[in-house]
A and B are shown apart, each in its own frame.
Chain A
Amino acid sequence: MNNPADHSPDAPLDGDLRPHSFDGIQEYDKRLPRWWLLTLYGAMVFAVIYWAYYHAYSIGTPPALALEKEMAENAVLAAQKSGVIDDDTLWKMSLDPKIVSAGKLTFDTTCAVCHKPDMTGLIGPNLVDHEWIHGGKPMDAFKTVNEGVLVKGMPAWGPMLGRQKISEAVAYIFSHHKPGEEVIIVPGWTPPPGVMAIPPPPPAK
């Protein structure tokens, strides 16, 4: 077999054999392989440096602080990049077939489970009628999706979907509405009776 130690000049097969034997087992007393010693000492040196850097002299940033810094920077940069979102922009987006079909994709994979693929409501309310719980303007809907309404079971999708996908999804919802149409504010939504007995259809891929 190809064991390098078989052939290395400093490792003859005999010699260094300790005199004692245990149940017939004998022991050589070979020198420790140099590369092995280097990994041992190298890891120790690294340990000292690491400890000095993060703890003894506190040069490195602790992980929690580093995380907060990174996320804050990310948020500032992302906000600078994305443009303004308001009712007007969202209405305009709702007329753009490209944006609407991108929004439909997000809706079908994320929202349809609760709001039903045709948006007529399941666990979550109907989105194509004129009744609204948290306001009927596109920015109201954007806020509801972005921040969620935890008490009513609507998760905050902002951290998961991001501004772009949320505005697309909102544009898709409002492609079923028109500016200036009737808006009735209602206190809540009651799921249709027996609806939970029937599993909702799987989301379209």
Chain B
Amino acid sequence: MYRYDEFDRRFLEERVAQYRDQVRRRLAGQLSEDEFRPLRLMNGLYLQLHAYMLRIAIPYGSLSPAKLRVLARIARRYDRGYGHFTTRQNIQFNWIKLEETPDILAELAAVEMHSIQTSGNCIRNTTADPFAGAADDEIEDPRPWCEIIRQWSTLHPEFSFLPRKFKIAVSAAATDRAAVRLHDIGLYLRRNAAGEVGFEVLVGGGLGRTPMIAKTLRDFLPKHRLLAYLEAILRVYNEFGRRDNLYKSRIKILVQALGIDKMRDAVEREFGAMGESALPLPPATVAAIAAHFAPPTLAAPGADDETELARALAQAPALARWVRYNVAPHRAAGHAIVTVSLKPPGRPPGDASAAQMELLADLAERYSQGEIRATYEQNLVLPHVRRRDLPALWRHLGEAGLATANAGLASDIISCPGLDYCSLANARSIPVAERLSRHLAARDQEIGELHIKISGCINACGHHHVGHIGILGVDKNGEEFYQITIGGSADENAALGAIVGPAVPSAAVTGAVDTLIGVYLDLRREGERFPDTYRRIGAAPFKEALYAAA
């Protein structure tokens, strides 16, 4: 994991001191809310329905035990004992007091964390494959590149006041676990015909009011030119992106307006004008950063590891089920990647209590080389677990309510905070997710992989557009209704869902989802996931089943 140097540490200390003085002046009446609001937002502090909300950046989703323990401490000391992991691999605390925020930021700074650029029209936290550095299907660890982007984009003076917020995701794996195609810039590390590794650069993805899948801008960009190329894209966006209309200000709208070919021309022109020497990434610099992400030294598997594990699996069906769904292959023999579900049936997706965070910090030290990852699907990951330790880890997780065997299944629902917390929402999300997960949990295995995603407003923090089944809360004359989409996907075959028909009232959502799942179960062929069946048979059977009785 990247460690701050003296410059980083001093900068954060100065930033906390600056913010402490800003809060003091606000509370003393020397700053108006209009003056203070942009200052607090620059430090990730929003005002929501019930309190201030602090959004804390987790760079590319990577956490150490020390960082997670501080998040637990913040939950316990300054919040109501829990935190909410978000769809941008960040964490939010919903019950924060303004007067305590300088102390919180100081506690974060002590473990090299902050809330800078978690709000505002700037480059936000870069997200990444949560299995990075462990996955058996990646060509190299993408995290050094995420860290290079983080250092370049943090407080970048030219890109601090973009037309709108800007999000970048990076993956180096065959399976896209970072929703790369739904970002303003998506980066896939690829190997070209010559065997060299570089970036496929995509641009113009995003959800919200106008959802779009990113298009390829460059098939192959040499790695050492990454920052220059990103800078060229940002310059084009900064110059030509719309500032007159909030709803048309994201880069996806610019790409749509210009067309990908003209966008490419503009970027390449800017890139060419910068010259070969612009923003160099010398091998020594890259190597120095990559050294922070050196693979852990993993013990060779013991001769009887698999035999022991097989015996444990045979004795405990619940363990076997958890291993089947929550454990993924590791690139190192005898090891595995464990997804810790934060989706117990009937509970708010993505919430973790202080006690759970502390336990996970302990378990990461004991079983996962001191590494924890946050996923955009609002779960946590222990990336380096020895397979023979899986039964013991499962038991510890189970004692804390963290062994739900549902990763990627119907009850593993993504949900934004919705109208229970968020001042932008039109409808509640969490109660819908709770009802659905409670209802679907018993059928998870029968249904198989199914991604249900719920947003409480068109801003789409719950990624509803790319849910296999997406649910969007809308306000109809003061009543909560929910618009349902089907056929979306956030992976390497990203697709936007199609609206199946008129929105349904809150009480009808579970039944509607049940009906859609019923059509899928009736018509699926061997090995088909929900989106596969949808693509084969189209929307008509689903629509007929859902609205035939109406």
Q: Do A and B come from one complex?
A: no
Binding site for B on A (CB under 8 A): none
Binding site for A on B (CB under 8 A): none
